[in-house]
Structure 1
Amino acid sequence: MAVSKYQPSGNSLGHFLVVLTFIVLSFVVVTASAVQAQTYRFTSVQIEGNQRVEAGTILSYADIARGEAVSAGRLNDAYQSLLGSGLFETVDVVPNGSTLVIRVQEFPTINRINIEGNRRLKDEDLLNILQSQPRRVYSPTLAEQDAATLTEAYTVAGRIAATVDPKIIRRSDNRVDLVFEVSEGRVIEIERLSFTGNRSYSDRRLRRVLETKQAGLFRQLIGTDTFIEDRIEFDKQVLSDFYQSRGYVDFETKNVNAELTRERDAFLIIFDVVEGQSFDYGQITALSLLDDVDAQPFMDVIKIKPGQTYSPAGVEQTIARMERVALQMGLNFIRVEPRVTRNDRDLTLDLEFEISRGPRVFVERIDIEGNNTTLDRVIRRKFKIVEGDPFNPREIRQSAERIRALGFFSNADVTAREGNSVDSVIVDVDVEETPTGQLGFGASYSNNDGVGVSVTFSERNFLGRGQALSFEFNTASANQAYSFGFREPALLGRDLAFALEASYRTTNNDFADYDTTNIKIIPSLTFPVSENGRLSVRMNLLQNEISDVVENASKLIKDDEEAGPVFSAGLGYTYSFDTRRTGLDPNSGVVFRFGQDFNGLGSDDATYIRSTAFLGAETKVFNEEVTLRAILEAGALNATSGNTRITDRFFGNGKIRGFEPNGIGPRDLAVEDEDALGGNMFAALRFEADFPLPLPEEYGLSGGVYFDVGSVWSLDNVNGGPDGGDRVDDGLNTRSAVGFSIFWDTAIGPLRFNFSNPLQYEEYDNRQYFDLTVSTRF
């Protein structure tokens, strides 16, 4: 066997590799230095390929002067600068002897933009949010940004699986068509909304608070059952407001977990909350830190009482009342600060309203931005302060709330910053307008009126003046109605609302032996008389006519027909008191209305005094799962000359369930159809209870029970019948009915199905065991 005479050791081999590596690196460094050190001098620059971009513009980006010594690094910088300008699709910078050749290929011009594959969102809505525009230079970067913007629009619409790919189609003359290919994907709905940590209120009750909803039967028509991240933040705030108004001062939302289902076709959203304990008001006092100001007048306006559930709204309204007292006393710069002492043992909060004098700071000016349509004065009148008034931070916050409550803006921010001097501030109002007009076409069905169609138009901010304008046309087999409405909420810049209502209505009633035509023109003024009270005064211009009376109808009806069209004018007023305006108790409310109309001014026809009263109260019990409601209504019609007309009397329609329209009240029993004549008096008492049903909540179904009792009675003339016989029953006969209801929240509105069982009735009454209506609340 041959044996080598020499084998390098491991150390020798390592030394060899180190030396070899050093030689290679040295060669690279030297070569790079040589390349970097290589310089060029150009006596001319040749530009090729440009069509729209001037040669001077290209040279300015290249930044290479003739005769200047230019390194290879400078040439690379010129290349990067030209490419980074966004004007060129490709760039070549080539030294050619003493000539520098710059070849460019310009980005094409956008010929047109198309969106393909979209069905749920309209072209015009999507095109308006694009930055790329026809007849502008195409930019791949901008096209990608536009694709992301379109994808976000679909995400907001609940289609988080949507994808958008920008494509270009080459055209002649260096033009392209920019096409966004959309794959909409499926709507990702919210399959389940649930809560953890809630002990006092059920998931069902809390879900009613949130703007976000679970997917229901009308999921294709309702947008609030899709997942939108920004809406979740809003829901956290309204959930906090809900608990805070019920005394849960420690409430917080620790986390909101939104997860996709395993099939990735729906979201599961869980709100993790900490309720804490509900606190009541404890001892309530007022303390003046000013030697010349007595605290007693401020104590006199405190309406919150010890033992009531604590509510931040009650504290805010108490501060507002105290500040008004200070102004009435001629005191400026008064600050009312609530000092809260917490008593965890008995779960109460002691309040001491500390009255002091704040810094002498004035409002320098109020700047308003973002209102392209709405006039400045519409926003300014929501401020109770003007330029030069003492600055009040709380008033600024409340002004912001009043501006948002207008409903004219999708966003309204009111902030204060330092003015031109240390004792002045500038109030900035930044608003973002939202559409306020609505045009609607609809169809309706009612057991009483049959099938009908309607066309409505409304504008809540007419010409940007804050005025409301509406037109409505309704037609059904039993009646037709045309109406016009106009409302100026701040006449002469004051808290004085002017309204004008006009309507023309005809009835071809299946429940009566005659037709009617009614024309109304009612201008009115409404103004506050107390914190919860409003007074409305009006003028009534009315014309009523009865026509097409059947041959065998009651003599009383025929007498009214012979009178022909009857015009009457009069004055009226309505006082209303509504505790819901202040919202001190979120679970209860009381509404009272009383009105009178004095008709027949300047005429002997239709002269009467018409009085009506309404009293309603409701409260929520069993952790707000059940709503109890009681309503009392009454009316009286007193003729000041002659007899009352059938078009002016009360029929009690809708007041007592279980009876058809014109189904109760005085009747002429001497005629074949036993015509209903209406009464000069009516009274109705209704008790209701609404509650959830043991059904999946996404069905939108709930239940209710009710008991109604009342009557319609009294006539001036009881000589009815073809021969004038006295067979008119106008006595005080009590009617009553019980029943249950099914409420269904649909995309077209809340529907109510009533199933009634009349208990007390007269033989001639027309009973009704089922009716379908739109659910309303007083």
Structure 2
Amino acid sequence: MQGDTVVRWLLVFGGLVGVFVGAVSVAAQTPFRAAETAAQTQLTEESPIIDSIEFTGLRHISAAAVARQVSLHPGDRFDTAKLRQDLHALGRLGWFLSIRVEEQSRPELTSGVSAQRQRIALIFQLEEEPILSGVEYSGSRLLTRSQIERLLEEKKLPPGLGEPADPARLQRMAMAIQSALDVLGHPEASVQVHRQLQKNATVRIRFAINDGPHLPVRQLRFEGAPGVPEKLLRAQMQSIAPWKPLASFRSKDAYTREAFEEDRQRILTYYVDHGYPEARIGDAQIEKIAVCSRRWLPFPHHATRPGLRLSVPVQAGPFYRLESIEASQTLQQAVENQTGKPIALPVSQGRPFSQQEVDKLRRFCSLRLRSHHSQSDSTPFPSVNANPVFDPEKHSVRLKLNLSDSPPYLVHRLEFQGLHKFNDRFVRRRIPIREGDPFDDHALETGLTKLARIGYFKPIHKGDIHIELDDTRHTADVTIHLEEIGQQRITFDGGRAQFGSTLGLAYTVFDLFNGEELLPAKLEGGPETLQLLLGIAKDGIFGTRGSLAFSIFDNVIRPRFTHGVQGPFVNTHSVGINVPWTYALTDSDSVGVNYALSRTTSDQTFGSSSSTTGTNSVPPIDLRTHTSSRSLGTSWTRDTGNEHVSLAASASGSFLGGDENTLRSSGEYARVRRDPLFSSSNAWAFRATFSGVGSYRGNAPLYSRSFAGDQFVRGLRDGELGPVAMTDHAAPSGTIVPSPSYAGANLITAANAEYRVPLRNSVQATGFFDLGSGWLLPNWLGPTKPTLLSATNGILHGSTGVQLQWTIPGVQVPFRSYYALNVLRLDRVIPLSSRSLLHPHNRLGAFGWGLGSLF
């Protein structure tokens, strides 16, 4: 509240004889300073009884609204402490300019007793703040009115037109505007609040904004004894990084206290994880400088640019190495009893001490104890302590692992702050800890990662998580601050489809009808494919852990085999609906059921794709087929972050109806494992996959085959993983001649191995080895079968090479570029007749690219 309004009030301690009446004013939000003796006064039988409570001076605010804010009521005994709390509560509302309390005695004769019993009336004399009638923003060239209003809305600081002009809220609004200017590189900006009182007890507020000079961070240096190259420390700074590309457009050249604190925590974490547990980083010293630079436009000249220089004091401290890792006998016995195997600790002697590795080792031991722990056992699983013992003389660390003597902390309260558009239930379903459960920091971290991955919340940092431990009750109160991005989201998507790479745009709206539903719309396409999808999805259907979705799709596929084979060419157009239902068995396992109804139109062209001038030219032959399909499928998926397993099967036709009678199945296993030998930032990645489709009645449609290429084995083109078939082709002269064409495959198996090395700026280098094979099994096709070249069916393809992958900023879609050497490939000469030979072959080496990760 503006000014220091002093609220004073008189406490009356009357006996049976005298009553003292007084009135004083009290300052809102100012701690009440009562005499020590009054603060220690307890309710006794002689305390006066409150006969009535009155509120005077109110003009716009109702007395009932004020009465709901106080805890004293008529009929209660007078309590000094409660009155003090009520005065604080009224002051915090920001409704009143001043508050006065008057106490009046109302003696009443008690029947049968000659003495009087004291009764009092409390009269609150209130002076309201004027009603806010308008807000103006003036003086800023950087922030428009709409930008400021959007900023205040995001900060949950609306002006509150038609409400009392709360000075505290107005001051917070001014600070929010000033902070926004700080982020834009104007640390000397100022915002003043001017009040213009009107005659009708209203007030207009004008925020006078002074942008101040533009002072971006021009230089940054580390002083003291960093112990490591400055280049490594700069790499940890993500919030203040003026050397990064487009730093000014990304607000990375602006100094704010919050941004520096985030970077300081990142640097400290780096030190602790690289052998410097005693590192210290001081506050940044800020100095205004002028940097001289040469400009070329509109003519060559020298220009002086003002800015800031940050000097960060750093003391790395001594370098510590890990000497030994010891597990107590109790821990070893507990792990062996639970798993049946002795605990295997990594050999890390001589490596730099890393707090991150210590936490991973503690979690590893906890998971070993937890993995076989009975779910029906109500006793909480034991926790593991990891205690590093530092030797300051040898600069070594001995790590001791043992079972905790005390029981694990139980989650007493789990609270999510900052939720406005999303409800608490939506967040809790994605965090695998509950009140009453043992506190598991790994489960909390996993849940928050999944929550941030959905894209409706800003990244969650350690500073957003507050954990308060109660050692007496052995409980933990967890408070997590979330910052919502919004219910609407526009994202770019892309990846590797069956025919080439695709890039798409997805628009999603969440909770439009207040039912936690998701409404997605997606348009994705490439040179040979186009997909349009509209849908609706709902998590927690019927109060369960299941999710139900409904989507309408329209797909167009137009493959272009322009690299050596002739006809037939197929254009496929599919429209239909898809209804998947998914149920989460555990935090990592889920099962699903899917029903699809579609209608597919296929145009197959035989012969020349373009007419040839001449009397004997024969136009191409077009064959159009229409197929309706009704399929029902099931799936099971496990995704733990580092491991992915999926199995799926579906059937169409028979009692489901439709023209298509096929069976489909697929499976995939992928795993990413950190490199334990060279660097923990590198990783090994493996994938094995299979897919198959066949007809159990009638002909299998052509579009059910897979014309696979480098989505399984890099270096192959579309269709080269499958066999080659001979197809009759109409020559321009009118004669029918056989022509080789890719036949597709109905059974595919593949395996991939990668070694991934992360580089800078979202770039990753990969060495890979791929194996794959495709079969077209005639018995799975139905009565109509192509004329296959059996020598090309089931060929084992293999390639090895290097790949660079860059995640495109903003779009967040990986772009891959690779060179593959096909060490196992198709390269055979096949006699077609006594006079003709066919030489189908794949390239020995090939450059390729694609959007999206391979796996």
Q: TM-score range by the shorter chain?
A: 0.5 to 0.7
Cα deviation for residue 437 of structure 1 reads 2.2
Letter of the structure 2 residue corresponding to residue 457 of structure 1: T
After superposition, the Cα gap between the structure-2 partners of 1:515 and 1:191, relative to the gap in structure 1 and judged at 3 Å, is farther
- Is 2:745 the counterpart of 1:679? yes
State how 1:482-493 maps to structure 2 within 5 Å: 482-484=532-534
Q: Among residues 406, 410, 417, which one is paired with 2:451 in the alignment? A: 406
Quick one: distance in 2 between partners of 1:474 and 1:191?
A: 44
Q: Among residues 127, 130, 149, which one is paired with 1:124 in the alignment? A: 149
Q: Among residues 678, 703, 714, which one is paired with 1:647 in the alignment? A: 703
Cα deviation for residue 313 of structure 1 reads 3.8
Contact 2:723 2:788 (8 Å CA) reproduced:
no
After superposition, the Cα gap between the structure-2 partners of 1:627 and 1:300, relative to the gap in structure 1 and judged at 3 Å, is same
Q: Among residues 325, 329, 332, which one is paired with 1:282 in the alignment? A: 325
Contact 2:573 2:600 (8 Å CA) reproduced:
yes
Show the counterpart of 1:612.
667
- Is 2:776 the counterpart of 1:715? yes
Cα deviation for residue 567 of structure 1 reads 0.8
After superposition, the Cα gap between the structure-2 partners of 1:608 and 1:136, relative to the gap in structure 1 and judged at 3 Å, is closer
Contact 1:198 1:275 (8 Å CA) reproduced:
no
Q: Among residues 799, 824, 844, which one is paired with 1:736 in the alignment? A: 799
State how 1:44-443 maps to structure 2 within 5 Å: 112-119=135-142, 122-126=147-151, 128=153, 147-164=174-191, 178=206, 180-183=208-211, 185-186=213-214, 188=216, 203-204=231-232, 207=235, 210=238, 213=241, 215-224=243-252, 226-238=254-266, 250=277, 252-255=279-282, 257=284, 259=286, 262-263=289-290, 264-265=306-307, 268=310, 272=314, 273-274=316-317, 276-279=319-322, 282-285=325-328, 287=330, 297=337, 305-307=345-347, 310-316=357-363, 318-319=365-366, 322=369, 330=377, 332=379, 336=383, 338=385, 340=387, 342=389, 347-355=397-405, 371-378=419-426, 389=436, 392=438, 394=439, 402=447, 406-407=451-452, 411=464, 413=466, 415=468, 429=479, 431=481, 434-440=484-490
- Is 2:507 the counterpart of 1:456? yes
SS of equivalent residue, structure 1 residue 153: helix
SS of equivalent residue, structure 1 residue 550: strand
Quick one: distance in 1 between partners of 2:541 and 2:169?
A: 50
State how 1:509-520 maps to structure 2 within 5 Å: 509-511=558-560, 513-518=569-574, 519=576
Letter of the structure 2 residue corresponding to residue 600 of structure 1: S
Contact 1:369 1:430 (8 Å CA) reproduced:
yes
Show the counterpart of 1:507.
556
Show the counterpart of 1:481.
531
Contact 1:665 1:730 (8 Å CA) reproduced:
yes
Cα deviation for residue 349 of structure 1 reads 1.4
Letter of the structure 2 residue corresponding to residue 315 of structure 1: R
After superposition, the Cα gap between the structure-2 partners of 1:776 and 1:209, relative to the gap in structure 1 and judged at 3 Å, is farther
Quick one: distance in 2 between partners of 1:354 and 1:437?
A: 44
SS of equivalent residue, structure 2 residue 709: coil
After superposition, the Cα gap between the structure-2 partners of 1:750 and 1:439, relative to the gap in structure 1 and judged at 3 Å, is closer
SS of equivalent residue, structure 1 residue 231: helix
SS of equivalent residue, structure 1 residue 287: helix
Contact 1:636 1:682 (8 Å CA) reproduced:
yes
Cα deviation for residue 113 of structure 1 reads 0.6
Contact 1:147 1:180 (8 Å CA) reproduced:
no
Show the counterpart of 1:498.
547
After superposition, the Cα gap between the structure-2 partners of 1:424 and 1:274, relative to the gap in structure 1 and judged at 3 Å, is closer
After superposition, the Cα gap between the structure-2 partners of 1:180 and 1:313, relative to the gap in structure 1 and judged at 3 Å, is same
Quick one: distance in 2 between partners of 1:382 and 1:444?
A: 26
Q: Could you list the per-position Cα deviations for residues 231-270 of structure 1 after superposition, in whole angstroms to 9, with x for gaps in the alignment?
A: 33334445555666x6858364433646557334365575
Letter of the structure 1 residue corresponding to residue 607 of structure 2: N
Cα deviation for residue 170 of structure 1 reads 11
Contact 2:524 2:532 (8 Å CA) reproduced:
yes
Letter of the structure 2 residue corresponding to residue 570 of structure 1: L
Contact 2:390 2:398 (8 Å CA) reproduced:
yes
Contact 1:194 1:203 (8 Å CA) reproduced:
no
Quick one: distance in 2 between partners of 1:486 and 1:303?
A: 48
Cα deviation for residue 470 of structure 1 reads 3.0
Cα deviation for residue 230 of structure 1 reads 1.9
After superposition, the Cα gap between the structure-2 partners of 1:115 and 1:649, relative to the gap in structure 1 and judged at 3 Å, is farther
Contact 1:200 1:623 (8 Å CA) reproduced:
no
Quick one: distance in 2 between partners of 1:354 and 1:363?
A: 17
After superposition, the Cα gap between the structure-2 partners of 1:240 and 1:441, relative to the gap in structure 1 and judged at 3 Å, is closer
Cα deviation for residue 315 of structure 1 reads 1.8
Letter of the structure 2 residue corresponding to residue 283 of structure 1: E
Show the counterpart of 2:300.
none
Letter of the structure 2 residue corresponding to residue 523 of structure 1: P
SS of equivalent residue, structure 1 residue 776: coil
Q: Could you list the per-position Cα deviations for residues 302-348 of structure 1 after superposition, in whole angstroms to 9, with x for gaps in the alignment?
A: 86625368421442464476578777585647764626363857754
SS of equivalent residue, structure 1 residue 665: coil
Greater Cα offset, 514-523 or 710-719: 710-719
Letter of the structure 2 residue corresponding to residue 454 of structure 1: L
Larger Rg computed on CA atoms: 1
Q: Among residues 687, 693, 696, which one is paired with 1:632 in the alignment? A: 687
Cα deviation for residue 658 of structure 1 reads 3.3
TM-score, length basis structure 1: 0.64
Q: Among residues 558, 573, 578, which one is paired with 1:521 in the alignment? A: 578
Cα deviation for residue 678 of structure 1 reads 1.8
Cα deviation for residue 284 of structure 1 reads 1.9
Contact 1:195 1:203 (8 Å CA) reproduced:
no
Contact 2:500 2:850 (8 Å CA) reproduced:
no
Letter of the structure 2 residue corresponding to residue 710 of structure 1: L
SS of equivalent residue, structure 1 residue 311: helix
Q: Percent of counterpart pairs with the same letter?
A: 12
Contact 2:236 2:267 (8 Å CA) reproduced:
no
After superposition, the Cα gap between the structure-2 partners of 1:424 and 1:517, relative to the gap in structure 1 and judged at 3 Å, is same
Letter of the structure 2 residue corresponding to residue 715 of structure 1: L
After superposition, the Cα gap between the structure-2 partners of 1:348 and 1:712, relative to the gap in structure 1 and judged at 3 Å, is same
After superposition, the Cα gap between the structure-2 partners of 1:274 and 1:675, relative to the gap in structure 1 and judged at 3 Å, is farther
- Is 2:752 the counterpart of 1:752? no
Show the counterpart of 2:9.
none
Letter of the structure 2 residue corresponding to residue 573 of structure 1: S
Quick one: distance in 1 between partners of 2:343 and 2:242?
A: 39
After superposition, the Cα gap between the structure-2 partners of 1:657 and 1:218, relative to the gap in structure 1 and judged at 3 Å, is farther
Quick one: distance in 2 between partners of 1:192 and 1:261?
A: 12
Show the counterpart of 1:602.
654
Cα deviation for residue 353 of structure 1 reads 0.8
Cα deviation for residue 351 of structure 1 reads 1.3
Cα deviation for residue 440 of structure 1 reads 1.9
After superposition, the Cα gap between the structure-2 partners of 1:633 and 1:285, relative to the gap in structure 1 and judged at 3 Å, is same
CA RMSD, Structure 1 to Structure 2 (Å)? 5.7
After superposition, the Cα gap between the structure-2 partners of 1:324 and 1:331, relative to the gap in structure 1 and judged at 3 Å, is farther
Quick one: distance in 2 between partners of 1:457 and 1:228?
A: 33
Which residues of structure 1 form unaligned runs of 5+?
Answer: 1-53, 57-84, 89-105, 582-588
Quick one: distance in 2 between partners of 1:332 and 1:444?
A: 47
Quick one: distance in 1 between partners of 2:474 and 2:539?
A: 31
Quick one: distance in 2 between partners of 1:682 and 1:334?
A: 44
Contact 2:764 2:806 (8 Å CA) reproduced:
yes
After superposition, the Cα gap between the structure-2 partners of 1:550 and 1:357, relative to the gap in structure 1 and judged at 3 Å, is closer
Letter of the structure 2 residue corresponding to residue 222 of structure 1: R
Show the counterpart of 1:571.
633
Letter of the structure 2 residue corresponding to residue 509 of structure 1: R
State how 1:551-562 maps to structure 2 within 5 Å: 551-552=606-607
Cα deviation for residue 732 of structure 1 reads 0.8
